[in-house]
Structure 1
Amino acid sequence: MKESKGNGDEFLNEVASIGRTSHVNIATLKGICFEGSKRALIYELMPNGSLEKFIYKGNPSSSNHHLVFKTLYKIAIGIARGLEYLHRGCNTRILHFDIKPHNILLDENFCPKISDFGLAKICLREKSTISMVSARGTTGYIAPEVFCRSFGRISYKPDVYSYEMMVLEMVGGRKNIDINVDFTSEIYFPHWIYKRLELN
């Protein structure tokens, strides 16, 4: 537990969101603590930690943890099933807004579970678009329409965009924004991929 900032909106939002779910690819909330400014969420034990430690080349924590393509594929499918459940399988649609490797936990069999619902938004299943006051998410995973409203209305698709960015990282073995690359044209991984495809 740690001292948290604000009035606990993110914490309560996470409890409200994840408390409505029950799916093999969604982390199970076992309990909470809410004493003044001290807050804690107790999830099921995930022995393998988060996905991020297994996918990035050159990451010291992943040096002895390379996953074979078959396992990465299984993880990608599991995350997709979890998102499909959040978007279509719940009584109310839950938009996560922060799909990234850090928020994907892996059990002892590398079954992926979506976690960290602090930025999630709950909306009616019938609504095709939602309104938001400010952008939500992590740089590199935020869909264009969330960042700049001139790109279009916001629906469940920002989660799909974040998922796609994460799959690129899983396949490429690097973060989608990497300032430690040799050429500035390689900083944004999707742009680099697009240029490589354009050349072929």
Structure 2
Amino acid sequence: MKSLLTIAMPKGRIFEEAAELLQKAGYVLPEELNESRKLILDVPNEHLRFILAKPMDVTTYVEHGVADVGIAGKDVMMEEERDVYEVLDLNISKCHLAVAGLPETKLNDIAPKVATKYPNVASKYFREQGEQVEIIKLNGSIELAPLIGLADRIVDIVSTGRTLRENGLVELEHIADITSRLIVNPVSYRMKDETIDTLVERLAKVVEEEQE
């Protein structure tokens, strides 16, 4: 009997766009897939199992082998630096990482503070700019930090920029463009190479067609 291929992915926008890609690639998925509250969903007809995880946890599940493959944002991969293979840029959930802050404010010369949920990315970026900053890790509502005097700058994902504008912030520096990637556990790639290669080839064809 063919073993299940386990795919870890976050719920929400990435899940919806990735599920659409899978369907265009010929995988038959149940319509209620994104509506379910279950955290593990089996699709026996396609020999697939989905683990629905927090975005930051997807790479961890794949690295430790509880998921064979995963779909994760490049931002998460940059932050986590896990031992996984990045095999395909799915070109979905496009956004970018940026430095933002209140308009016309200079970075504090004495003890500049940067709030972010990407401490590793932020530290590396400012180090490369030759700037020494104090990183304050937050898990949400990053835009609040400059408004309440917690930080001079924030490093966060920007999609439309609407959240920044609504909170009186402006984008100051562009760090990196972000899309979602297909990642693979190295051991799974050896054990289930045929199944994974088929998945990659079918998805790659769809991604290529959509870029034409």
TM-score bracket for the superposition, by shorter chain length: under 0.3
- Whose strand fraction is larger, Structure 1's or Structure 2's? 2
The structure showing larger relative contact order (alpha-carbon pairs under 8 Å, at least 6 residues apart) is 2
Query: Computing the radius of gyration over CA atoms, which structure comes out larger, 1 or 2?
Result: 2
